[in-house]
């Protein structure tokens, strides 16, 4: 963009006008004595570090601050002061009014406060077991298969015939699982699959081929097929198929404990927010077409 076009750009005019308003407002309305004082404390810097890094970990922020060199700390203090001054000046000019981004930031900040207030330590053994029993379906281990395949592209004249001929030869030679990489065409995905779930296999071979691969009444440890997929034909060597199962709590206790703690925290947050909403008189205009939400139960 040339200097001439920049000068003609409406955005440039808007920014220039804003700068003039800012300068005029600052000149005409100097900050009050209390507002002109900025205290730079360790607590303020720790909060500044956490918000800037979007990682709300007080211990990590303290370690980072303590590890800074004097020059780095001076730069941090300068950044803090600059942001604080600009924030106060923006508020003095009313720039936060009707700004949806600022509205979101304030809402997010309060949610962090609510989350901290809702934190109540790890769940008890009874809570973990109750959560596990209620949510068993989410921890169900999906069926998985370990297999290899040789691929014959649909662009061949007779991919299924080529696959059938290779299957006969590989079984006659007693070729192992590892032989798959020495034959056939290049497949878009993989040649060997180890403990892959039904969904994963179906996404790459199609559901019809996945049913054949996962069939528990087919022979294992031999080459079989041809198995057809949208890509072509396959000679399949299936080592194992593990059926779906429900793991015992002891196998996944750590995961269940984390999920139970998260669920309790989220429930506490919803309760605090609902109780806060209940303190307001909510009026929904008729033209909205729905009634006001029911107040939270005490």
Instruction: Report the pLDDT value the prediction gives residue 145, as an integer from 0 to 100.
Output: 94
Class of domain 141-242: alpha beta
> Which range, 170-174, 262-266, 285-289, has the best average confidence (pLDDT)?
170-174
First-to-final CA distance of the chain: 62
pLDDT tens digits for range 32-64: 555 667 888 888 888 888 888 877 788 888 899
Instruction: Report the pLDDT value the prediction gives residue 119, as an integer from 0 to 100.
Output: 62
Q: Is residue 229 within a helix (H) or strand (E), and if so which, with residue range?
A: strand 223-229
Instruction: Provide the Cα torsion 247, 248, 252, 254; round to 10°.
Output: 160
Instruction: Report the pLDDT value the prediction gives residue 187, as an integer from 0 to 100.
Output: 93
Q: What is the pTM of this model?
A: 0.51
Q: How confident is the model at residue 278 (pLDDT cuts 50, 70, 90)?
A: confident
pLDDT tens digits for range 208-254: 999 999 998 889 999 998 999 999 999 999 999 998 899 999 999 99
Whether residue 234 contacts residue 225, with contact meaning beta carbons closer than 8 Å, is answered with yes
Instruction: Report the pLDDT value the prediction gives residue 12, as an integer from 0 to 100.
Output: 44
Of 50-54, 97-101, 164-168, 280-284, where does mean pLDDT reach its minimum? 280-284
């Amino acid at each position: 963009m040339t200097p001439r076009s920049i000068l003609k750009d409406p955005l440039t005019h808007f920014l220039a006008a804003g700068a003039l308003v800012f300068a005029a407002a600052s000149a005409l309305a100097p900050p009050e004595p209390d507002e002109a004082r900025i205290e730079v404390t360790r607590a303020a810097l720790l909060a500044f570090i956490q918000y800037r890094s979007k990682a709300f970990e007080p211990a990590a922020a303290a370690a980072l601050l303590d590890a800074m060199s004097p020059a780095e700390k001076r730069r941090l203090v300068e950044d803090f002061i600059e942001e604080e001054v600009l924030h106060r000046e923006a508020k003095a000019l009313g720039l936060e009014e009707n700004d949806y981004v600022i509205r979101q930031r304030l809402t997010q900040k309060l949610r962090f406060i609510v989350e901290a207030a809702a934190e109540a330590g790890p769940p008890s053994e009874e809570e973990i077991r109750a959560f596990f029993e209620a949510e068993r379906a989410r921890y169900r281990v999906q069926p998985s298969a370990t297999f290899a395949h040789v691929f014959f592209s649909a662009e061949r004249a007779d991919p299924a015939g080529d696959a059938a001929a290779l299957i006969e030869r590989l079984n006659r030679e007693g070729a192992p699982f590892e032989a798959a990489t020495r034959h056939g065409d290049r497949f878009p995905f993989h040649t060997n699959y180890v403990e892959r779930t039904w969904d994963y296999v179906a996404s790459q071979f199609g559901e019809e081929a996945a049913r054949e691969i996962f069939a528990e009444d087919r022979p294992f440890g031999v080459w079989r097929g041809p198995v057809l997929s949208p890509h072509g034909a396959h000679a399949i060597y299936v080592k194992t198929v593990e059926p779906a199962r429900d793991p015992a709590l002891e196998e996944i206790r750590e995961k269940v404990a984390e999920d139970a703690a998260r669920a309790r925290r989220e429930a506490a947050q919803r309760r605090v927010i609902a109780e806060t909403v209940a303190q307001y008189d909510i009026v929904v205009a008729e033209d909205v077409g729905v009634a006001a939400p029911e107040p939270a139960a005490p």
